[in-house]
Amino acid sequence: MSHNAAHYSLKYGLIGLLIAGVAPLQAVAQSATPDDTVIKTERRAAQQALASGNRVEALRRIEIVVRADPSDLSARFFRAQLLVSMGRGEEIRDEIELLTMLQLPESEIRKARALLAKIDKKEKRLNGKVKVRVQTGYADKITSKTYMLSMAKSFDL
């Protein structure tokens, strides 16, 4: 078999496989469409959990929505805001950065950038050094001398 014939055979063989695979993929995609009732129920439950102060439950519920419909940007932003408010912004940083690169409405990009700024602000608050100085002493009334013990220790955050 010549090089051109082998290339031709490989090219059209792959195209045939792709065409043959389209129908099963379409069937899978149709069966995997998100159930609107589940999404609405879980979104409502997440909002109620947050309103009652249960951020862990709100996060659990909104993650069900994100898994059911990964293209749901409002659920993704809700999840991101929860994680940032829980001090877990680094877990979602990459996803938020990706959202700023997509062709989304400017208002959505501003929301994503604001979340990144919150993550950066919380991160900066914990950077730096802390220096602790402890000093103790006593006065000897007999000899009129004062004795001091001083100790300092620095910690990186």
Q: Are 119 and 89 in contact (CB under 8 A)?
A: yes
Pairwise CA distance, residues 28 & 64, whole Å:
20
Distance set, CA 134 to CA 57, 69, 109, 128 (Å): 43, 56, 49, 20
Q: How confident is the model at residue 7 (pLDDT cuts 50, 70, 90)?
A: very low
Q: Return the top range by mean pLDDT from 3-7, 29-33, 126-130.
A: 126-130
pLDDT (tens digit, 9 = 90+) per residue, 41-100? 999 999 999 999 999 999 999 999 999 998 888 899 999 999 999 988 888 888 888 888
Q: May I ask the CATH architecture of the domain 36-125?
A: Alpha Horseshoe (1.25)
Q: How confident is the model at residue 33 (pLDDT cuts 50, 70, 90)?
A: low
pLDDT (tens digit, 9 = 90+) per residue, 97-134? 888 888 888 988 898 899 899 888 876 554 566 677 77
Q: Where are the domains of the chain?
A: 36-125
pLDDT (tens digit, 9 = 90+) per residue, 37-52? 999 999 999 999 999 9
Q: Are 79 and 49 in contact (CB under 8 A)?
A: no
